[in-house]
Amino acid sequence: MADPRDPFAGALADGQSGGRTNGEPIRIAPIVGVAAAQVQAWPGRKADLAHSLAPLGLTLPDGLAFTETGGRLCGRIAPGRYLIFSPDTVADIATAVPGSVGAVADLSHARAGVRISGGSVEALLAKGAALPFDPAGFPPGTLAQTSIHHMGVLILRRSETVFDLYVLTSFARSFADWLTDACREFGWITAHPTRLAPTADVPA
Amino acid sequence: MTGFRLDEGGALIDRARPLSFRFDGHSEIGFAGDTLASALLASGHRLFGRSFKYHRPRGLLGAGPEEPNALMTLGDSSDREPNIQATMAEVYEGLSAESQNRWPSLKHDLMAGPLALMAPGLKAGFYYKTFMGPGRKAWDFYEPIIRRAAGLGRASHAPDDSRYEKTNAFCDVLVVGGGPAGLAAALTAARSGARVLLADETAAFGGSLFESLASLDGMAAQDWAENAVAELTALPTVRLLPRTTVYGYYDGNVLGAVERVQDHLAERDPDLPRHRHWTVHAGRVVLATGAIERPLVFAGNDLPGVMLASAVERYLTRYAVAAGRSAVVFGANNAIYRSAERLKAAGVDVRAVVDARPNPPQEPAHHIASAGIALHAGTLVSEATGRRGLKAVRLARADASGQPRDGWTETIETELLAVSGGWTPTIHLASQAGGPPVWSADRDAFLPGTPREAWTAAGAANGTADLAALMADGARAAGEAASSLGFDSGVTVVPTIEDPDATATPVRPLRAIRTRKGRGKAFVDFQNDVTASDVRLAHQEGYRSVEHLKRYTTLGMATDQGKTSNVNALALMAEAQGAAIPEVGTTRFRPPYTPVSLGALAGREVGAHFRPVRRTPMHDWHVAQGADMIAAGAWMRPRVYRRDGESVTDAYIREARTVREAAGMVDVSTLGKITVQGPDAGEFLNRVYVNGFGKLAVGKARYGVMLREDGFVYDDGTTWRLADDDFLMTTTTANAAGVLARLEKHLAVDWPDLRVAVASATDQWAGLALAGPKSREILQRVIDDLDLSNEGTPFMAVRRAHVGSMPVIVARLSFSGELAYEVHCGARDGLAVWEAIHEAGQTSGLVAYGTEALGTLRIEKGHVSGPELDGRTTLADLGMAKMASTKKPFVGQALMDRAAMTVADRKLMVGLKVLDDRPVRTGAHIVSDTMPESVASLGHVTSPTYSPALGCHIALALVSGGGKEGDRLTVVDPIRSGEHIPVEVVSPHFFDPEGDRLHG
Amino acid sequence: MRIPCPVCGPRSVSEFTYEGDATVTRPALDADADAWFAAVYQRANPRGPHSELWHHMGGCRSIIRVERDTGTHAITGASLVSPHEASE
């Protein structure tokens, strides 16, 4: 019985597979137990925001990239705007940021995440988005926001062959449909749901 | 029997893999690597189709994508595809092919005879001149007959169940064309370290190297090509795309290409696409697209057996097929000598070389003579004769202007006439992405114009003829492209070339050869059956612009898009106008270069994958309950939950009635929700809403309306204050994205000084509305930490609580007008909270209700929604003028009171009560009661429903001037039904107008 | 057409929503009807260089000001419209 809290509603349950069987399949794993918060600093207050978040062990990245500290990922998604993913809670983030420095919105339930890995991940993503996915054009540790099949998606590159993808919760099953269909020529298998983990611990 | 297979040779065929296929119902044989054209030609077929208009017998003209005649329908039932060029279709075991536009058979086409007789009445633009009467209706009679008589293939009506995919590719250098210039370019760019994409429309790379007699770096040309491909294949920075046509060049150096992944396979892998569309984002592009040989225009030039000389050579070298047992070669350049020698070496009886030049070059002429082939210099073929195929050619001497002179003539019997009218560089992509092509008199061709995107043309596409020169051209173009992107290896790949063909070729422009009266037709555009006399006729009738010539004669408008006809037509036009070719100009080049399957353009966006679907956390519960699910934008929502035997109407009436009598719950997760946070959030909301929010108390919600800046109503919703700096705005489902965009724009552009952050929270929250007299007691059963009474949770209050251990926000809001509570929780808790409340309500008769009943309830209360907020209504129209604050400025304020928006006869919102038992429909018109035949519409119905509370059909409507309560009107719906339905104007607040039930 | 988003890099035009002439400044909300009429309705609509706003809804959601030639689609510049600096 599918977990009622699972936005993929069993579409990516452990042990499913499909597509061609004559190569290295793409592994797909839902990312579970992730809390998320969007933090916006007021103009010119970036330093103050960094200062507020430092006691929580968080550092703010530059560019379109993400930092990893204490099991949390902090991604910069627009000037002054950050999306923080946490394996537990984001309540402490809201309390840490004073109203004069910025605003914190809890979006823990608003995103569904999935991790894809394997040799063909770049070719898979190229089907959905018109961005360069080679390591030079999209280095590990950086992120991008784009659309795949009319669904907004946040893409974080965890390593050369591992990407984490986040879509709006309401699109989760449609996104799973797109993903498994696009994987047909590579073959795909679902792996055990994974938790947010530092890149060093992310299996290739 | 004419064509035959040679015993040896054939660079592309694999004699170890013979295969069988079907053509026009008969079994045929060929080899792996054959095209449909080469296999049929090898078996002696001459007849490949019937022409579009005149149904003339046609054979192969060419060997590649320029082929205008040999169009076939491949496959059957769902994968049947018409108008495929036999020269591009690779044969596979079991292929089924049919010729087109003939009945009952290719050989005996009944249309041919009558059409030949009618031909004088079927000239260019005939449909403006003949078949014009009697009377205007006559064309309605003739047209279907003419359409059935003409045409190419017929498409299948079955759904296309092939899989198609689309993808993107990024590269530093894209090389289009895998011939000698393209291979030199690709190698040069690849060796510099750049990421290279090399595409060729055929299955094998090499292009004209297959026919070349040159040695490159000491190897045979073909072997050099194989080595080049091997080197490129081994490099991870190079992607080779055979069977891939780059069809379009777009802004930003983006190109479209289609790869025919599996069309050549007998067994197709269902996990792979049939066609794959590539959107290529290139740093630089090298257009090594080659050139296409021109046919010549003379009487009888469309007979089967008349072929392009380069095509004849291609069939010899690549497929080991000789196109006839006897041949004559005709042209005005050196290439025809090589063609003649090749044919002779293959065992064909070459009866003559006809060179229009009075002084042909000595060496080639000498070779021909020693091979025992007759050479006629300064001579033309003035006519080709035969019935269903070429039988003989008639020669005449050329005068100074290249036209046949009276006097001497000779007739030579021959099966094959190989013609060469010169070469037209393939400049389509260059012209799509550049300025108009430039005429070069010494090349006798149009060359690429000024680039508008980052491309360079190289090789034959640039007018270069000599092999060494064109490879150097390709290498240089790629070298410059790579180094402009920062790749520098200093290596340009130019092989050492010894080329026996490399004698400088003086080209004599060979134009249309005038036909003597009554001696047959000279064709310019084979596929659309346009003759030289049609072109002259267009001129005679006053069509001077080349764009008019094209459309009047339909020249260049067929699936081959004039690849073999455009330049010949321009030459004819120029001659008629007494102008030079460059003065005539060219028509506009547009993508696609060759036809692209619609499937490739759609990719996987078909069927269930057409658009993504948004689901609420309770989706599966609704489906399991048997709800009729309906699309609301991208969302799926439950429309009604039908019980046994119920219609949709029965269901929504029962649901709405139950809400008012007991309780109901509806999934409102799709409502737009936006967090509005920051020290200036209150001020921001004051500016975007017509009413005030700055002073809203924490823990309260307020209904708000926003206008567009032109003063019309845009959207409505409730906004809740959760803390001093923290609001949650709700919007209609349909406008959620639009409202967020508008708020972001205000903050970035108009009011950058406001410290406000907005974010979409629609997916963060699952929501339900629990409504009805029993709603409070039901909800209190599952909530322990909040008093839901009027004192604990007054109307419009917003409170935090828990259902079980799950945190929720309870907002006492009511869209239905009943005592009601909205319960919102984190999306992942949505199903659990929903089920808990549903379970708790069963003893009280709680039902789930869907969007239909949701609508019924709000219509009964006169609440506006989408149909009333259609972008044409004002606050005053909707009876909400008093909501507009007079104390603070807001968006839309300045323009909302313009004269036309406040006139007396504006359509105002009213309620309508239907006086008999018929429903009215959204969009139906309202006319005066006294003159139902009147055409004056007084307004329209916006939101109709059956009202269980009133026991009759009602509707909200917009009526000119509003009307007085009690006025009688008529609803008419001339498009959908002829009914006239009597209605009475009433207050739009049909039920419980005082709102007593809300405060229960 | 590819639009060079200052935050995300060059992206397909399909990721953006067009937001009109960038040279139009909205007046104060309580300005008179004439001032608002001009801002809402009157446009030069030039053929040639045009300064316009695009909203990167399918990406970073920034508003950017793009210099584009309406005759040739050639884009010569793009800058962030935001109280934030592009590097913040």
What does the alpha-carbon distance between residue B396 and residue B418 come to, in Å, rounded to a whole number?
17
The closest of B113, B119, B135, B139 to B127, measured between CA atoms, is B139
Q: How far is B890 from chain C (nearest CA, A)?
A: 6
Interface of C with A (CB under 8 A): 7-9, 11-12, 14-15, 58-62, 80, 82-88
Residue B765, Cα to own-chain centre: how many angstroms? 38
- Say if CB B948 and CB B872 are below 8 A apart: no
- Whether A134 and A163 share a structural domain: yes
Mean residue pLDDT of chain B comes to 93
What does the alpha-carbon distance between residue B810 and residue B794 come to, in Å, rounded to a whole number?
11
Among residues A60, A81, A108, the one where a domain terminates is A108
Give the count of domains, chain A: 2
Q: How far is C88 from chain B (nearest CA, A)?
A: 15
Q: Which residues contact B358 (CB under 8 A, 6 or more apart)?
A: B377, B378, B398
Is residue A143 situated within a structural domain? yes
C67: part of which helix (H) or strand (E)? Answer: strand C63-69
- Whether A70 and A120 share a structural domain: no
Range of the domain at A131: 15-33+109-197
Q: What is the CATH number of the domain that holds A64?
A: 3.30.70.1520
Q: Which residues contact B442 (CB under 8 A, 6 or more apart)?
A: B507
Q: Do B252 and C53 touch (CB under 8 A)?
A: no
Q: Is the pLDDT of residue B502 over 70?
A: no
Is residue A7 situated within a structural domain? no
pTM of the prediction? 0.94
Is residue A131 situated within a structural domain? yes
Interface list for A 30-89 with B (CB within 8 A): 38, 40, 42-43
- Whether A49 and A138 share a structural domain: no
Q: How far is C52 from chain A (nearest CA, A)?
A: 20
Instruction: Count chain A–chain B contacts defined by CB atoms under 8 A.
Output: 129
- Say if CB B572 and CB B297 are below 8 A apart: yes
- Whether A155 and A184 share a structural domain: yes
Integer distance in angstroms from the first to the last C-alpha of chain C? Answer: 28
Residues of C in contact with A142 (CB under 8 A): none
**Token digits of residue B523:** 């064709």
Q: Which residues contact A45 (CB under 8 A, 6 or more apart)?
A: A100, A101, A102
- Neighbours of B, requiring at least 3 CB pairs below 8 Å, are A, C
- Whether A121 and A162 share a structural domain: yes
Average pLDDT over residues B829-839: 98
Per-residue pLDDT at B588: 84
Per-residue pLDDT at B443: 87
- Whether A189 and A91 share a structural domain: no
ipTM: 0.98
Number of neighbouring beta carbons within 10 Å of residue B403: 14
- ∠ CA B929-B935-B937, nearest 5°, is 70
B508-538 pLDDT per residue, tens? 777 788 877 777 899 999 999 999 999 999 9
pLDDT bin (cut points 50, 70, 90) of residue B787 is very high
Q: Is the pLDDT of residue B246 over 60?
A: yes
- Say if CB B155 and CB B569 are below 8 A apart: no
**B13-38 as b/e, with b when 16 or more CB fall inside 10 Å?**
beeeeebebebbeeebebbbbbbbbb
- Whether A47 and A60 share a structural domain: yes
What does the alpha-carbon distance between residue B993 and residue B858 come to, in Å, rounded to a whole number?
12
Is residue A92 situated within a structural domain? yes
For testing contact with chain B, the best of A170, A173, A180 (most B CBs within 10 A): A170
Q: What is the CATH number of the domain that holds A173?
A: 3.30.1360.120
- Pick the more confident residue, B465 or B280: B280
> What length does chain B have?
1000
Q: Which residues contact B406 (CB under 8 A, 6 or more apart)?
A: B396
Is residue A9 situated within a structural domain? no
B310: part of which helix (H) or strand (E)? Answer: helix B309-319
Q: In chain C, where are the structural domains located?
A: 2-86
Q: Is the pLDDT of residue B250 over 60?
A: yes
Per-residue pLDDT at B513: 83
Q: Is the pLDDT of residue B78 over 80?
A: no
Q: Do B894 and C53 touch (CB under 8 A)?
A: no
Residues of C in contact with A171 (CB under 8 A): none
**Token digits of residue B752:** 């950058």
For testing contact with chain A, the best of C17, C84, C87 (most A CBs within 10 A): C84
Among residues A88, A108, A128, the one where a domain terminates is A108
Per-residue pLDDT at B42: 97
Query: C49: helix, coil or strand?
Result: strand
- Whether A66 and A130 share a structural domain: no
Q: Do C30 and B891 touch (CB under 8 A)?
A: no
Asked which of A100-104, B488-492, B537-541 is least confident by mean pLDDT, the reply is B488-492
Residues of B in contact with A149 (CB under 8 A): 604-605, 609, 612
Per-residue pLDDT at B401: 85
- Whether A135 and A169 share a structural domain: yes
Question: SS3 for B612-655, per residue?
Answer: CCECCCCHHHHHHCCEEEEEECCEEEEEEECCCCCCHHHHHHHH
pLDDT < 70: residue spans in chain C? none
Is residue A10 situated within a structural domain? no
Number of neighbouring beta carbons within 10 Å of residue A203: 12
Q: Which residues contact A37 (CB under 8 A, 6 or more apart)?
A: A83, A84, A86, A90, A93, A94, A104, A105, A106, A107, A108
Residues of C in contact with B739 (CB under 8 A): none
- Whether A27 and A117 share a structural domain: yes
Give the DSSP per-residue string, B58-71: E----SSTT--S-E
Per-residue pLDDT at B325: 97
Average pLDDT over residues B820-826: 98
- Whether A95 and A172 share a structural domain: no
The closest of B155, B131, B124 to B145, measured between CA atoms, is B131
Q: How far is B194 from chain C (nearest CA, A)?
A: 20
- Say if CB B584 and CB B546 are below 8 A apart: yes
Per-residue pLDDT at A61: 96
Asked which of A4-13, B278-287, B829-838, B873-882 is least confident by mean pLDDT, the reply is A4-13
Among residues A57, A73, A108, the one where a domain terminates is A108
Residues of B in contact with C31 (CB under 8 A): 894
pLDDT < 70: residue spans in chain A? 1-2, 204
Q: Is the pLDDT of residue B758 over 60?
A: yes
Per CATH, the homologous superfamily of domain C2-86 is Folate-binding superfamily (3.30.2270.10)
The pairing of beta strand A143-148 with beta strand B455-457: unpaired
- Whether A51 and A101 share a structural domain: yes
